[in-house]
Structure 1
Amino acid sequence: MKELRIVNVLSEFDARLEAEQNQLKVLSPQEREKYLDEMMLAVGLQTGEFLNMLLKTQGGKRILEIGTSVGYSTIWLAEAARVNGGRVTTLEYVATKQAQAVENIRRAGLEDFVDFQLGDAVELLENLPGSWDFILLDLWKELYIPCFDCFYKKLAPGAIVVADNITFPPDFRPIMKAYQEYVRAKPDLDSIEIDIGQGLELTRKEIY
């Protein structure tokens, strides 16, 4: 990814994300909750690069992001969607974050490849038609399994689902382990944990 305006927007995000991560390390879980709606809570550079390359390699066109925040991961996905001839549908619950995301995607020049949806993720997913080729799951962790149940039957053959925050923050670990066990119990899915960024669960639907 070499387009200057995209690089510039991502560079701004990376500086903000580093400051956030340093802050999160010293906050208790109770203190952290006070600031969550103001934070990016983005996937980070390493994960963004991985998602971008993975999506380009897979070639998916119908891309779903559950948890837009201010659009950091959306940019990585949308740039790959442009290459693939696809489109990203991204869901966000907080209106102020979505407004920031819309502006950031515009500044990156990728607005033609993103559809924004505002509201409760589970309710939105119930009404969104399939099928999906690639999904990024990155919202409140207790919603991972309910969201998964909504899109599971809408996965295209060979679809990839990436779930973030598998290993960090540590207090999320029990609920993330429950998610991992849940998806790994599905007979038509293969799923592995990948040590990138804050930990990813990479799940793929069988082609046959």
Structure 2
Amino acid sequence: MKELRIVNVLSEFDARLEAEHNQLKILTPEERVKHLDEMMLAVGWQTGQFLNMLLKAQGGKRILEIGTSIGYSTIWLAQAARENGGCVTTLECVASKQTQALENIRRAGLEDFVNFQLGDAVKLLENLPGTWDFVLLDLWKDLYIPCFDRFYEKLAPGAIVVADNITFPPDFRTIMKAYQEYVRAKSDLDSIEIDIGQGIELTRKEVY
């Protein structure tokens, strides 16, 4: 990523991301739950860059992000969508976070490549038409499987699904393992854990 306007917006979040990461390490699981809605919970620079390059290499145009937060990963995806001639549809349930995301996307000059949806992700997914070339899952972890079930049949051949927070925070590990086992049981999917950022599960639908 070399576009100064985009880099400047993303760079503003670096210190906050590092502070959040350090805070999550020392909080108890109960304390984490209390503060989650106040946090960015973003994927971080390394994972964002990986998503951006992966999407460009794949060439996907119909991109779905489940969990906008304040738009950090949305920016990485939208920049790739612009290059691919596509668009990101991003879902968020917290109105204040979506408002921040809208402003951040505008500042990055990428508003023409993002479609914002506000509401419960599971319900929104039931009515969103397919198909999807690329999906990023990064919301409440107990919703990963319910959300996956609602976009699975809408995945295009060769579609890629990335699930964040596979290894961190550690109190999510059990539920994330359940997600990994779930997607790996699908006969038409290949899936692997990648040690980048907070850990991701990278899944690809086979091309028949």
Q: Structure 2 length normalisation: TM-score?
A: 0.99
Q: Which moved more, 1:12-21 or 1:85-94?
A: 12-21
The equivalences for 1:126-145 within 5 A come to: 126-145=126-145
Structure 1 segments unaligned to the other structure (5+ residues): none
- SS state of the match for residue 13, structure 2? helix
Residue 16 of structure 2 is matched in structure 1 by 16
Residue 175 of structure 1 is matched in structure 2 by 175
Alignment deviations for residues 149-188 of structure 1 (CA, whole Å, 9 cap, x no partner): 0000000000000000001111100000000000000000
Q: Which moved more, 1:24-33 or 1:155-164?
A: 24-33
The 2-side partners of 1:184 and 1:130 are apart by 22
Q: Shift of residue 33 of structure 1?
A: 1.4
Residue 86 of structure 1 is matched in structure 2 by 86
The equivalences for 1:95-106 within 5 A come to: 95-106=95-106
Residue 195 of structure 1 is matched in structure 2 by 195
Alignment deviations for residues 69-128 of structure 1 (CA, whole Å, 9 cap, x no partner): 000000000000000000000000000000000000000000000000000000000000
The 1-side partners of 2:35 and 2:141 are apart by 16
Residue 110 of structure 2 is matched in structure 1 by 110
Q: Shift of residue 3 of structure 1?
A: 1.1
Residue 37 of structure 2 is matched in structure 1 by 37
1:25 and 2:15 are equivalent in the alignment: no
Q: Shift of residue 19 of structure 1?
A: 1.1
Amino acid in structure 1 at the alignment position of 2:155 = L
Structure 2 segments unaligned to the other structure (5+ residues): none
The 1-side partners of 2:184 and 2:156 are apart by 17
Residue 64 of structure 1 is matched in structure 2 by 64
Amino acid in structure 1 at the alignment position of 2:138 = D
Q: Shift of residue 64 of structure 1?
A: 0.2
* CA root-mean-square deviation: 0.5
Amino acid in structure 1 at the alignment position of 2:122 = V
Q: Structure 1 length normalisation: TM-score?
A: 0.99
- SS state of the match for residue 70, structure 1? coil
Residue 54 of structure 1 is matched in structure 2 by 54
Amino acid in structure 1 at the alignment position of 2:87 = R
- SS state of the match for residue 187, structure 1? coil
The 2-side partners of 1:39 and 1:181 are apart by 28
| Percent of aligned pairs sharing the same letter | 87
Amino acid in structure 1 at the alignment position of 2:198 = Q
Q: Shift of residue 26 of structure 1?
A: 1.1
Q: Shift of residue 22 of structure 1?
A: 1.2
The 2-side partners of 1:26 and 1:145 are apart by 28
Q: Shift of residue 25 of structure 1?
A: 1.1
The 1-side partners of 2:196 and 2:170 are apart by 15
The 2-side partners of 1:207 and 1:13 are apart by 38
- SS state of the match for residue 143, structure 1? helix
The 1-side partners of 2:147 and 2:181 are apart by 15
Q: Shift of residue 32 of structure 1?
A: 1.1
Q: Shift of residue 52 of structure 1?
A: 0.2
